[in-house]
Amino acid sequence: MESFHQFRFWVLAFCFITFQSCNGFYLPGSYPHNYAVGDDLWVKVNSLTSIDTEIPFSYYSLPFCQPEGGIKDSAENLGELLMGDRIENSPYRFKMYTNESDVLLCRIDKLSADQFKILAKRIDEMYQVNLILDNLPAIRFTKKDDYFLRWTGYPVGIKVQDAYYMFNHLKFNVLVHKYEETNVARVMGTGDAAEMIPPISKEGSEKPGWMVVGFEVIPCSIMHNADSIKDSKMYSKYPSPIKCDPSTVAMPIKEGQPLAFTYEVTFEESDIKWPSRWDAYLKMEGAKVHWFSILNSLMVITFLAGIVLVIFLRTVRRDLTRYEELDKEAQAQMTEELSGWKLVVGDVFRAPSNPSLLCIMVGNGVQLLGMAVVTILFAALGFMSPASRGTLITGMLFIYLILGIAAGYAAVRLWRTIGCGDQKGWASVAWKAACFFPGIAFLILTTLNFLLWGSHSTGAIPFSLFVILILLWFCISVPLTLAGGYFGAKAPHLEYPVRTNQIPREIPQQRYPSWLLVLGAGTLPFGTLFIELFFIMSSIWMGRVYYVFGFLFIVMILLVVVCAEVSLVLTYMHLCVEDWRWWWKSFFASGSVAIYIFLYSVNYLVFDLKSLSGPVSATLYLGYSLFMVLAIMLATGTVGFLSSFWFVYYLFSSVKLD
């Protein structure tokens, strides 16, 4: 009981410190900001995006109104830059709880030939404008077949017959909730824990105010009289009333024609509380199908994996029991009749071909698997929510860098185990482990980055960021990997329970190619994640918000279990037919799931991304898919190899040997 109270004390202390370090309010994102009536609210703009091309472009690459003080970049983290987000200020300005209508934004004197050409191209490619208010993306509702669809952002324009129409008037609806409570726990609704968390004083937060809990936009195409506003200033009143009708378009764009932009804003009091303001973005269509499909998949795979595990354990334990009941003379006579796996006792721990490469790949797999577990767990706990842009990618990167020590340790210790304790060459193995996967990833991303640079996309990584990534690689990851390798070299190696013969045993001719069975083994792990994979792919390429990290964590744990079981079964089957070359086969038995994921990616490209236009977009998609597949192969292959190594070690340690 005393230990329980100590544990509870440390949990509460950790929560208190975390709240203090995060300015106290909301772990999955920023703290709530309350505004007084009349306070300025500034809208920010993000990159233009399209599911047609998957190539983001800067908002100001199109002839939109620019802010009076010039274009300024907002604070960005590493994850935002890697994802292609470019958040900048905009001229859209509101007054808290002050409705405004017919507000003139600006007038573009003439649409040049280049501006018209690029504007028409962006409309053809279905580019969306992404606006942000108080960290909330603008959301648009459309009605189809008596139900509402939710979209983030609004289209640049639309093509009707042969004419291009631009949405030059925006109708904003800002949902606000009254803020009167300064106690963190009561704002967050933590119930009886309210007395345990002290209120955190923040300048200006003591007075009652309003919090932004929703940001909706309705785009309209309005035919403005550009001549009547020649001398008008920004934020002045448009001369005539503007009626926004989203069902009609009236502003065709032509070369040499002036453009005028206007907007209106209304504020609406809402019952939505600040912690729930992201629900509108997360409750996308198909949510019920998502939950039931994943649950069904989990039940089926768990049942199937349980059957495999039970049958497998019964078979192995029966063999061990039969051997233990035999005396040495009977055992010598019946060895060949009972099982083939004991015949390879002198070869089962014979070093595999290319042992250093296997150690390097296992080390990288440990690093990637650890990164995935920690990242998804933190995301499931709410530390990396969609409310904090780029946090997920930034967290993944830094967790990967820190886990370089695990990669070096695993690679070098396995190297010493294969070499029967010989430390020679451990530094080379650790160095290669630090450069293998990052080097391949760097090569792929650099090639794709050149394509983005050629397209003048904001998705291209700036040269300065390239330098930062290289410095992170060689100043953090490489030293930590070498340090892990040093600890692995000093740690005691595993001693094999049996001796290895000098002359390798001849492997009997098999009825079917063993590698065919190994490649087919990936179908079972693929069955555990293909439904979840669809939603992940949709969030990456269809612009949807992925948020069910709890389910993803369960699926990942189940995937690890199934990969281990599949590899164990394949290893046991190979040993039974006297094939002692199990090292690489155990790695690829579970790692072959990557092949099916890549085939699924190609299928997704052909059937779900039908509108993906241009060879650049397809190359980007396949390049990123290849990067993802390589990481999955290393992680799942490592799970399979380590589980098989443990099984073989345990099996030959338990049986009676001559």
pLDDT tens digits along 585-594: 999 999 999 9
Residue 632, pLDDT above cutoff 50: yes
Closest CA to 608 of 624, 593, 621, 595: 621
Q: What is the pLDDT confidence band of residue 311, given thresholds at 50, 70 and 90?
A: low
Closest CA to 636 of 369, 363, 260, 248: 369
**What is the bridge-based pairing of β-strands 169-179 and 259-269?**
parallel
pLDDT at 44: 94
Dihedral over Cα of 55, 57, 62, 65: its sign:
positive
pLDDT at 288: 56
pLDDT at 121: 92
Q: What is the pLDDT confidence band of residue 493, given thresholds at 50, 70 and 90?
A: confident
Chain-wide mean pLDDT for the chain? 81
Q: What is the pLDDT confidence band of residue 185, given thresholds at 50, 70 and 90?
A: very low
Q: What is the pLDDT confidence band of residue 321, given thresholds at 50, 70 and 90?
A: low
Q: Find the range with the poorest average confidence among 127-131, 253-257, 414-418, 499-503.
A: 499-503
Token pair, residue 232, equals: 């008008």
198 or 182: which leads in pLDDT: 182
**What is the bridge-based pairing of β-strands 259-269 and 154-155?**
unpaired
Q: Are 258 and 111 in contact (CB under 8 A)?
A: yes
Residue 237 DSSP class: B
pLDDT at 302: 73
Dihedrals phi, psi of 406, to nearest 5 degrees = -70, -35
Q: Are 216 and 139 in contact (CB under 8 A)?
A: yes
- CA 314 remoteness from chain centre: 39
Residue 5, pLDDT above cutoff 50: no
> How far is residue 85 from each of residues 58, 78, 88, 230, 293, measured CA to CA in Å?
9, 10, 10, 34, 32
23 or 382: which leads in pLDDT: 382
pLDDT at 162: 86
Dihedrals phi, psi of 427, to nearest 5 degrees = -65, -40
pLDDT at 99: 94
627 or 290: which leads in pLDDT: 627
Dihedrals phi, psi of 343, to nearest 5 degrees = -70, -20
Residue 336, pLDDT above cutoff 50: no
pLDDT at 119: 93
The tens digit of pLDDT for each residue in 29-81 reads: 456 788 999 999 999 999 999 888 888 999 999 999 999 888 888 766 787 88
The set of residues, in sequence order, having a beta carbon less than 8 Å from that of 401 and lying 6+ positions away, is 472, 473, 476, 477, 480
The tens digit of pLDDT for each residue in 227-264 reads: 888 888 899 999 888 998 888 888 899 888 889 999 99
303 or 202: which leads in pLDDT: 303
pLDDT at 474: 94
pLDDT at 293: 59
Q: What is the percent of the chain where pLDDT is above 70? A: 80
pLDDT, mean of residues 359-378: 95
**What is the bridge-based pairing of β-strands 157-160 and 128-129?**
unpaired
- CA 568 remoteness from chain centre: 29
* Rg, Å, the chain Cα set: 30
Q: What is the pLDDT confidence band of residue 184, given thresholds at 50, 70 and 90?
A: very low
503 or 439: which leads in pLDDT: 439
pLDDT at 623: 93
User: In whole angstroms, what is the distance from residue 253 CA to residue 238 CA?
Assistant: 20
651 or 475: which leads in pLDDT: 475
Closest CA to 581 of 655, 497, 648: 648
pLDDT, mean of residues 469-490: 94
Residue 192, pLDDT above cutoff 80: no
Using DSSP, state whether 613 is helix, strand or coil: coil
User: In whole angstroms, what is the distance from residue 112 CA to residue 257 CA?
Assistant: 8
Spans of all domains in the chain: 39-181+207-282, 287-309+354-503+519-654
Helix residue ranges, H only, 147-249: 184-188
Q: What global pTM score does this model have?
A: 0.82
pLDDT at 488: 92
Q: What is the pLDDT confidence band of residue 312, given thresholds at 50, 70 and 90?
A: low
Q: What is the pLDDT confidence band of residue 207, given thresholds at 50, 70 and 90?
A: low
Residue 453, pLDDT above cutoff 70: yes
User: In whole angstroms, what is the distance from residue 554 CA to residue 560 CA?
Assistant: 10
pLDDT at 203: 44
